[in-house]
């Protein structure tokens, strides 16, 4: 009997927990997020600026949405990631300590097609982070992104993998 009562109590607690979770999920997915205030005009998806400003002398900001994506040697971002992986030199220090992992990077392709503003968003080790930045900055020139027929800066985020 003692065992049966405990299982009923535990069962009730599980049921209440699942009920709370279901209500929370229902509220989460049924609520709509307000995207603009009445004073703001509606924006077109091509007018969305990037999260960070470019340095002085560069464009006012890099764009996330463009009419025509920046292209790497006639290809796309996957071609660039392949090029990055082929041009990585694994730092000796990282090999000695057996360090490996994925460095998350962000960079901008400016209006001249150069890779600039390389930032490590999530690093693994200083030597691997610096190698990822070095490779990205040594990139050949890209075809810049186009918006309304003009060359614009575009921002990208890619992982750089280091595997022993």
Task: List average pLDDT for each run of 10 residues in the chain, which is 164 residues long.
Answer: 62 78 73 47 39 41 77 90 93 92 94 93 94 94 90 92 88
Tokens 């929370």 correspond to 24
Task: Tell me the whole-structure pTM to 2 decimals.
Answer: 0.60
Angstrom distance (rounded) from CA 103 to CA 12: 45
pLDDT for 57: 43
d(CA 108, CA 101): 23
Q: Are 132 and 87 in contact (CB under 8 A)?
A: no
Separation CA 67–CA 55 (nearest Å): 23
User: Rg of the chain over CA atoms, in angstroms?
Assistant: 24
pLDDT of the residue at 6: 55
pLDDT of residue 47: 39
Specify the pLDDT at position 114: 93
Provide the pLDDT for residue 134.
95
Determine the Cα–Cα distance for residues 77 and 104; give it in Å rounded to an integer. 14
The whole-number pLDDT of residue 59 equals 42
Reduced to 3 states, what is the DSSP secondary structure of residue 82?
helix
Q: Please give the Cα distance from 145 to 153 (Å, whole number).
A: 6
């Amino acid at each position: 009997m003692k065992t049966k009562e405990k299982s009923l109590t535990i069962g009730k607690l599980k049921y209440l927990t699942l009920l709370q979770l279901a209500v929370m999920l229902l509220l989460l997915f049924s609520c709509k997020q307000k995207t603009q205030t009445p004073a703001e005009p509606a924006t077109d998806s091509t007018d969305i600026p990037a999260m960070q400003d470019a340095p002085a002398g560069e464009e006012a900001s890099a764009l996330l949405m463009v009419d025509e994506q920046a292209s790497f040697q006639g290809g796309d971002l996957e071609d660039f990631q392949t090029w990055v992986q082929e041009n990585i030199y694994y730092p000796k220090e990282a090999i000695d300590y057996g360090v490996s992992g994925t460095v998350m990077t962000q960079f901008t392709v400016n209006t001249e097609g150069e890779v600039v503003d390389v930032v490590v968003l999530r690093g693994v080790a200083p030597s691997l982070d610096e190698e990822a930045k070095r490779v990205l900055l040594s990139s050949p020139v890209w075809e810049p992104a186009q918006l309304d027929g003009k060359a614009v800066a575009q921002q990208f985020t890619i992982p750089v993998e280091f595997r022993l």
